[in-house]
Amino acid sequence: MPSRLPRLALLTVGAVVCFTGTMLPWVGAEGSRRTSYQLAAVLDRLDLLEDFFSTTLIRAWPVVPVGLALAAALYMLRLDRSSRVCAAAVGIVVTGGCAVSWSVPLPSHAGVTIAFLGALVLLTGAALPARWIA
């Protein structure tokens, strides 16, 4: 049976970096900086997004920390497949959120890139077969 430590390391690092990136400033101009959660609230409240994908993604954004916690809890309960599916779903949502943020005509800050890199690590940990990382 392969070791769970390499996958655990990838999922943990990805989740921590991803969550940290969502809490850092994403966009802003002239001294006002907004985290991803503030940006999502503003975009949703002002109804600035027209397409279904972006609107759904922004409305689901507050669930990102819950999804990360759920993926960690499932992994600790040894429900590996469920944990990986949950982690992959969060990684996809964060990647999409980064794409939406990069399309907003405001200067991007480091939080977007950090969250994106965390999401890539999270997706890698969720997608790699056990025989490749054991």
Domain boundaries, position 61? 8-25+34-133
- Please report, for residues 46, 58, 61, 91, the alpha-carbon distance to residue 41 in angstroms, rounded to integers and kept in the order given: 8, 8, 9, 20
pLDDT of residue 1: 46
The answer to whether position 3 is within a domain reads no
Sign of the CA dihedral running 20, 22, 23, 27: positive
CA distance 19 to 41: 17
The answer to whether position 121 is within a domain reads yes
Query: At residue 35, what are phi and psi to the nearest 5 degrees?
Result: -75, 175
81-130 confidence digits (pLDDT tens):
899 999 999 999 999 989 888 887 777 888 999 999 999 999 998 888 76
Tell me the two tokens of residue 54: 């972006």
Confidence band, pLDDT 50/70/90 cuts, at residue 17: very high
The answer to whether position 58 is within a domain reads yes
pLDDT of residue 106: 75
CB 55 within 8 A of CB 46: no
The answer to whether position 2 is within a domain reads no
pLDDT of residue 51: 76
The number of domains in the chain is 1
pTM of the model: 0.85
Mean residue pLDDT across the chain: 85
Q: Report CA 62 to chain centroid distance, whole Å.
A: 11
